[in-house]
Amino acid sequence: MDTRWSRRTLVQAMGATALAAAAAPPALGAPDPRRVPRAGWDAIVVGAGTTGLPLAIFAARRGGKVLLLDIAGETGGTLHVSTGQMSAAGTALQRARGIADTPQEHYDDLQRISRGTIDPAISRLAVFNAADTFDWLVSRGFQTLPGHPVSGEAHEPYSKPRYYWASQGGRSIMQLLQREVQAPVERGQVSILLKHDVFELLQARDGAVRGVRARDDAGATREFTGRSVVLATGGYAADPATYQRITGRPQYIDMPYRHSRGRGLELGLAAGGRMRGLENYMANYGLVLTSDDHPASLFARPQDFPQKRPPWEIHVNAEGRRFVREDVPSVDAREQSLLYQTGGRRWIVFDQAILDAAPPVLQGLSTEDLREAFDAHPWFKRADSLAGLARAAGIDAKGLQDTVTMYNYGVRTGQDPLGRQHHPLPIAKPPFHSIKTQATTVTSAAGLAVDESLRVVREDGSAIPGLYAAGELLGAGALQGKAYSGGMMVTPSLTFGRLLGSRILPV
Ligand SMILES: Cc1cc2nc3c(=O)[nH]c(=O)nc-3n(C[C@H](O)[C@H](O)[C@H](O)COP(=O)(O)OP(=O)(O)OC[C@H]3O[C@@H](n4cnc5c(N)ncnc54)[C@H](O)[C@@H]3O)c2cc1C
């Protein structure tokens, strides 16, 4: 592939946030593992990421002794690559901007957006404690982008502006947490062992979890014991085999944090926990990836927000049929409709007249870039007839021909069969063009079931003594249901870490 496209691919796949991730994180706690006490910890936390770091900071404030173990050679976890968008209601920043908002309204929005599919108890715990988490970040120097909070647009909008992020996305949060954990590390209250893969939980005969067994990168095995073990290992979206086994679908995209490999889920299940939330599997409305060899990188995001750019093209499935009104204002409606199409694939179809007249259909690409992509990228196809286009793109030819005929009827009469409002041109002037997109997700819908104290529970609902879990390991579906709600993974991870450290765990 043309190197220019490779460069663009890289920039767009990673985004400014993750490009910055190339910079080395601050060195943190790298004690000689042989000197780290094997017993007597208040909490042994598996994963020094979005959840684990605040947990350690807040447990140390109460005088607790915390061991953070991480398989990576760095702390921060998914914050290295996350966009880091947070949502919280009733924050000091909202009050300062005159925005009257409450956790109850946030909760009601989650119920509305998810159509009642969230876990009520866990979601309430998250949103009713989110403002304290966010205010704490701000009190420690966190700065949002100017004009925040906002209502959001990439996901179904909230009813109030309660959506915040910073200039470096997840890394802005990560750097703050890494700074804050430094003092308890220096005081000896928190020890961080990097490059330690926790592969087993130590369980007493009654099932109570008392510690962990970890292996360092040289193969040495160590056991650590304490009052509680917290699994904060993130999701499984970076492990294609686990992702396929759990979801029954391939993992198409390579954007999740590389250590999100489902290890915490395995550990929790082996200890007697139960998995839930698979029914809440969600994916976005489709991205252009670099190739068919998956997991692949992001090449470009389509301009799919009709409020910003009303669609000129049609969207069809593998059968050549339209399946959603392309200008439906709801992000969720578009995403839900694609979920049920063959392979989660849609093709953006247009003709030469639309290419010449419409604003570019992919974010960050000019019309000239688009023309070049048709010569270079395997997901861009062009042909002199609709039948030829369908053959080249792998779409059903009769379906596509019928669809274009009906669409053009709607353009002529103003009576689009799906009720579309914006249809400035028919699809009539060859060559005809298509761009393939693939529905993808970077997070994990299913996760470990926990109770309101974040204790891992068994099939019968009883808690496994000594074992807690938080973060993406609970499953994206617990807090977002079968939908995407902005900021409802980072903020709950931070919040559950804070709550475990400041009041839930015994110290
Ligand atoms: C590209 C991208 C963009 C995102 N954008 C947003 C967003 O804007 N807003 C939002 O709310 N959410 C977003 N998310 C999701 C969100 O960032 C994550 O759900 C959240 O950061 C996960 O936090 P965590 O503590 O559960 O896991 P992590 O922060 O990933 O921490 C888990 C840690 O556990 C370690 N670990 C794993 N296995 C082991 C093991 N066996 N032994 C020891 N250590 C182990 C890992 O190395 C890691 O450091 C995004 C995710 C991605 C990938």
Give the 3-state secondary structure of residue 459: coil
| Cα-to-chain-centroid distance, residue 307 | 23
With bands split at pLDDT 50, 70 and 90, how would you rate the model's confidence at 31? confident
Residues 234-263 have a mean pLDDT of 97
User: Residue 176 belongs to what H/E stretch?
Assistant: helix 170-186
- Which residues have C-beta within 8 Å of that of residue 183, sequence separation ≥ 6? none
Tell me: the pLDDT tens digits for 269-327? 999 999 999 999 999 999 999 999 999 999 999 999 999 999 999 999 999 999 999 99
User: Residue 494 belongs to what H/E stretch?
Assistant: helix 490-499
What integer pLDDT is reported at residue 28 of this predicted model?
Answer: 55
With bands split at pLDDT 50, 70 and 90, how would you rate the model's confidence at 22? very low
Ligand 1: atom nearest CA of 52 is 25
Q: Beta partners for 203?
A: 209
With bands split at pLDDT 50, 70 and 90, how would you rate the model's confidence at 32? confident
Tell me: the pLDDT tens digits for 390-417? 999 999 999 999 999 999 999 999 999 9
Residue by residue, DSSP assigns 376-433 as: H-TTEEEESSHHHHHHHHT--HHHHHHHHHHHHHHHHHS--TT------S-S-SSSEE
What integer pLDDT is reported at residue 34 of this predicted model?
Answer: 87
Q: Could you tell which of 490, 491, 498 is best to mutate to test the pocket of ligand 1, judged by most ligand atoms within 8 Å of the CB?
A: 490
Q: Could you tell which of 259, 442, 468, 499 is best to mutate to test the pocket of ligand 1, judged by most ligand atoms within 8 Å of the CB?
A: 259
Instruction: Return the number of other C-beta atoms located less than 10 Å from residue 10's C-beta.
Output: 15
What integer pLDDT is reported at residue 10 of this predicted model?
Answer: 33
As a whole number of angstroms, the distance between CA 84 and CA 173 comes to 7
With bands split at pLDDT 50, 70 and 90, how would you rate the model's confidence at 30? low
Residues 362-372 have a mean pLDDT of 94
Domain assignments of the chain as residue spans, ordered by start? 28-82+169-279+443-504, 288-438
Contact assessment for residue 253 and residue 242, using Cβ atoms and an 8 Å cutoff: no
What integer pLDDT is reported at residue 206 of this predicted model?
Answer: 93
- Which residues have C-beta within 8 Å of that of residue 56, sequence separation ≥ 6? 43, 45, 48, 66, 68, 181, 184, 190, 192, 501
- Which residues have C-beta within 8 Å of that of residue 146, sequence separation ≥ 6? none
What integer pLDDT is reported at residue 8 of this predicted model?
Answer: 40
Q: State the pTM of this model.
A: 0.94
Ligand 1: atom nearest CA of 198 is 42
Tell me: the pLDDT tens digits for 115-131? 999 999 999 999 999 99
- Higher pLDDT, residue 11 or 431: 431
As a whole number of angstroms, the distance between CA 380 and CA 374 comes to 5
Residues 361-375 have a mean pLDDT of 94
What integer pLDDT is reported at residue 152 of this predicted model?
Answer: 83
- Which residues have C-beta within 8 Å of that of residue 460, sequence separation ≥ 6? none
With bands split at pLDDT 50, 70 and 90, how would you rate the model's confidence at 215? very high
With bands split at pLDDT 50, 70 and 90, how would you rate the model's confidence at 153? confident
On average, the pLDDT of the chain sits at 93
As a whole number of angstroms, the distance between CA 257 and CA 493 comes to 15
As a whole number of angstroms, the distance between CA 358 and CA 350 comes to 10
Q: Does the structure show a pLDDT above 80 at 20? A: no
As a whole number of angstroms, the distance between CA 189 and CA 218 comes to 26
Residues 230-244 have a mean pLDDT of 98
As a whole number of angstroms, the distance between CA 470 and CA 9 comes to 33
Q: What class has domain 288-438?
A: alpha beta
Q: Could you tell which of 78, 172, 191 is best to mutate to test the pocket of ligand 1, judged by most ligand atoms within 8 Å of the CB?
A: 78
As a whole number of angstroms, the distance between CA 110 and CA 102 comes to 13
Q: Which CATH architecture has domain 28-82+169-279+443-504?
A: 3-Layer(bba) Sandwich (3.50)
Tell me if 479 CB under 6 Å of ligand 1. no
Q: Does the structure show a pLDDT above 70 at 90? A: yes
